[in-house]
């Protein structure tokens, strides 16, 4: 997933600061590092110089400067042209963008109570300014003139698309509304910004507030030694002393417990702790969800849409809710059928062991692992020993070098926001600088859950035609190293690293002419193509032989283990696909609501969706609503979680071309780099995909890849 800052047209009225305040900010700018040109290598933010007191002054000054830049565009007496309107708009807001990219990034990775307080002022402030920009009648009139006359102008494909995208952005953000309705939209946007902040704060606090303390070593039976060691170190860090183990809701702690713990009650405690996260007490997100849904319905209707899902899908490849839902159902049905087969296999093991119970949701991971060991003799604890984090990092870099000719050179003295961050100078085959890339892979209480890619600097083209290259970073919450072992990744974590690196390549290799089209600035249901297609290389034997080495002996992963990985590649895909498609459908069902009084019973709503879909009792949605940050922590993936599967239709079809030609075939790699990674949002995404692949995709390749095809 890509993390985005609130920097684009979109959300609620800001008055100009008093003259004295402007003077104060000018004085402060002399010492505020965010307001100075960075003198660091490649303009990496000087993190060690930035203090909590620097953010708000820089953001306020950034808004003030962009106001003047916008005013100059509007006041231009010359007839609107692409250069004096669209391109000029693309170049505004440098200071605001710089300040918000640093703040929003660290707000997610280095959160503190002080950062939360800044966020409570910064995000509403930028939301208000985004609304003011998107409803600026003078600016919109210039964009509309270009839109209305685009057929008569000598435009490149990228320029025409930029005009059309800007026009649609304005209209989707209220430019055609009356003044009264614009005021209502600003109120709704402001309310939603506050609600997203509250949702995220509740989620972080609820996650950090839950733990399971084990004081009986026998309850740890079945758990990998690495998981036990991490739990012991967690207990020690909390001052609990010897003979205690602490498990948290962070994935590297939660998932091994569910997968390996023989203690069924321990698995139930963890499962129910996770699935009831942020659902009660001081950090209950259910009332927040009700308010979000009510505000979204009002916003969609104000803008002329039947519901919020219609509003969100109108602006991407899917175009309609029905198109998104129809795709999901083509995947849902065979996935559910496979779940029934998987549960039967698991129940057979329970019965053979004299378990005396029926498979419940908290049993799924555990008995799926037992089935895998029985069918394929594949022990993931053994597999992990070939996937130390540094080895996997070598794997992603080797993949990029062989496909695209880029090299990653560590910069040990570069500025970094945390000691665990690694920084790399990315160069092309001719030695030219391409980008800066950073990685931040381990969990901490100040970091939100999940994995993502974002940027500290966007790629852009300067006035002299030279390219200003980006600063891109990946964040994860992978298994931590212990005193005795390095970080050993699960197969899921390996795929996640390749996934986020794919997003990173999209950001690093961009060659789009305009900032608004650079890197991952593409349709939401196209943005996951680069991330997901690169997952396929993770377990390809040709690449495994180059990076998967035993962390103790250095032995290359043996052919026998690779064969087992291949044989087990479709294992448990019914469960994985059902929980993912189920979450995507739940998201669309929330978005399809057309009215609410703000008193929806969240659990009952989820049960009704599950019953409507025929969800197996043994499977839950991948995310329950109170911790479904993708769709309630912002509007980025709202009514858009389906995009992971939409993009998988593209990526599986696209990777079949690599399999046909060779996974490192230079011509296929060149076509993908030029038409997808470099092009960004400069053309229609389906046009770009067809140019690379040669035909439009269907779900058939996805079903084959997941082993769900008949």
Burial of 608-619, coded b for 16+ CB within 10 Å and e otherwise, reads: ebbeebebbebb
Q: Specify the 3-state DSSP secondary structure of 122.
A: helix
In whole angstroms, give the CA distance from residue 710 to residue 703: 9
In whole angstroms, give the CA distance from residue 568 to residue 564: 6
In whole angstroms, give the CA distance from residue 498 to residue 478: 13
**First and final CA of the chain: distance in angstroms?**
31
CB atoms closer than 10 angstroms to residue 462:
9
The CA–CA distances, whole Å, from 672 to 61, 478, 534, 666 equal 41, 29, 11, 10
In whole angstroms, give the CA distance from residue 81 to residue 79: 6
3-state helix, strand, coil in the chain (%, to 5): 60, 5, 35
Active-site annotation holds for 500: yes
Q: Tell me if 516 sits within 8 A of 681, measured CB to CB.
A: yes
Question: What is the maximum alpha-carbon separation in the chain?
Answer: 84
Catalytic pick among 97, 234, 342, 500: 500
Relative to beta strand 433-440, strand 471-475 is: parallel
What DSSP designation does 212 have?
E
Please give the backbone phi and psi of residue 188, each rounded to the nearest 5 degrees, phi first. Answer: -65, -40
In whole angstroms, give the CA distance from residue 706 to residue 583: 18
Residues 6+ away with beta carbon under 8 Å from 280: none
Where are the strands (E) in 381-470, listed by range?
407-410, 422-427, 433-440, 452-457, 460-461, 467-468
In whole angstroms, give the CA distance from residue 298 to residue 306: 10
In whole angstroms, give the CA distance from residue 97 to residue 111: 20
Burial of 126-162, coded b for 16+ CB within 10 Å and e otherwise, reads: bbbbbbbbbbbeebbebbbebbeebeeeebeebbbbb
In whole angstroms, give the CA distance from residue 685 to residue 679: 9
Q: Which residues are known catalytic residues?
A: 500
């Amino acid at each position: 997933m890509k993390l985005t800052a609130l920097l684009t047209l979109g959300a609620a009225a800001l008055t100009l600061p008093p003259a004295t305040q402007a003077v104060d900010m000018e004085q402060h700018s002399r010492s505020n590092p965010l307001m100075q040109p960075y003198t660091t290598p490649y303009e990496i933010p000087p993190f060690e110089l930035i203090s909590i007191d620097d953010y708000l002054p820089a953001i306020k000054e950034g808004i003030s400067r962009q106001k003047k830049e916008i005013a100059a565009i509007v006041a231009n007496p010359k007839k609107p042209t692409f250069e004096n309107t669209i391109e000029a708009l693309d170049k505004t807001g440098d200071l605001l963008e710089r300040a918000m990219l640093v703040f929003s990034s660290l707000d997610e990775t280095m959160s503190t109570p002080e950062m939360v307080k800044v966020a409570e002022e910064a995000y509403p402030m930028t939301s208000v300014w985004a609304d003011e920009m998107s409803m600026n009648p003078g600016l919109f009139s210039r964009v509309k003139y270009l839109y209305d006359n685009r057929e008569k102008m000598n435009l490149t494909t990228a320029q025409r698309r930029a005009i059309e995208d800007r026009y649609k952005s304005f209209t989707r953000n209220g430019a055609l509304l009356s003044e009264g309705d614009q005021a209502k939209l600003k109120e709704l946007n402001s309310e939603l910004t506050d609600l997203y902040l509250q949702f995220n704060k509740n989620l972080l606090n609820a996650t950090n507030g839950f733990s399971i303390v084990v004081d009986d070593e026998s309850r740890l039976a079945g758990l990998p030694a690495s998981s036990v060691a991490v739990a012991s170190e967690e207990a020690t860090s909390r001052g609990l002393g010897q003979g205690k183990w602490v498990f948290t809701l962070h994935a590297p702690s939660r998932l091994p417990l569910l997968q390996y713990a023989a203690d069924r009650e321990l698995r139930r405690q963890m499962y129910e702790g996770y699935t009831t996260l942020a659902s009660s007490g001081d950090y209950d997100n259910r009332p927040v969800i009700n308010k979000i849904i009510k505000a979204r319905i009002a916003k969609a209707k104000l803008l002329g849409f039947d519901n919020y899902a219609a509003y969100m899908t109108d602006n991407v490849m899917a175009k309609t809710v029905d198109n998104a839902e129809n795709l999901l159902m083509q995947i849902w049905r065979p996935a559910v059928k496979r779940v029934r087969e998987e549960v039967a296999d698991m129940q057979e093991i329970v019965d053979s062991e004299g378990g005396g119970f029926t498979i419940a949701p908290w049993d799924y991971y555990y008995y799926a692992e037992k089935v895998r060991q029985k069918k394929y003799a594949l022990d993931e604890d053994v597999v992990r020993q070939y996937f130390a984090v540094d080895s996997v990092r070598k794997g992603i870099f080797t993949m990029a070098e062989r496909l695209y000719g880029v090299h990653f050179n560590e910069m040990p003295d570069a500025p970094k926001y945390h000691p665990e961050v690694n920084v790399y100078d990315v160069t092309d085959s001719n030695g030219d600088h391409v980008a800066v890339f950073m990685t931040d892979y381990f969990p901490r209480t100040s970091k939100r859950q999940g994995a993502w890619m974002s940027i500290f600097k966007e790629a852009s083209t300067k006035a002299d035609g030279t390219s200003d290259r980006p600063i891109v970073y990946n964040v994860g919450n992978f298994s931590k190293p212990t005193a005795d072992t390095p970080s050993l990744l699960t197969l899921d974590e390996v795929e996640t690293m390749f996934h986020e690196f794919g997003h990173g390549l999209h950001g690093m290799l961009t060659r789009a002419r305009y900032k608004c089209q650079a890197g991952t600035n593409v349709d939401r249901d196209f943005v996951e193509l680069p991330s997901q297609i690169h997952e396929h290389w993770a377990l390809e034997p040709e690449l495994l032989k180059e990076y998967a080495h035993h962390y103790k002996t250095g032995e290359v992963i043996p052919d026998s283990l690779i064969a087992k990985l291949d044989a087990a590649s479709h294992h448990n895909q019914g469960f994985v696909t059902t929980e993912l498609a189920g979450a995507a459908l739940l998201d669309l069902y929330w978005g399809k609501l057309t009215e609410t009084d703000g008193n929806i019973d969240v659990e009952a709503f989820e049960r009704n969706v599950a019953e409507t879909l025929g969800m197996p009792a043994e499977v839950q949605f991948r995310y329950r609503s109170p911790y479904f940050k993708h769709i309630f922590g912002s509007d980025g993936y709202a009514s858009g979680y389906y995009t992971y599967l939409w993009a998988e239709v593209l990526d599986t079809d696209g990777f079949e071309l690599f399999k046909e030609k060779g996974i490192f075939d230079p011509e296929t790699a060149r076509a993908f780099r030029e038409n997808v990674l470099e092009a960004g949002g400069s053309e229609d995404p389906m046009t770009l995909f067809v140019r690379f692949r040669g035909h439009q995709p269907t779900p058939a390749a996805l079903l084959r890849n997941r082993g769900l095809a008949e």
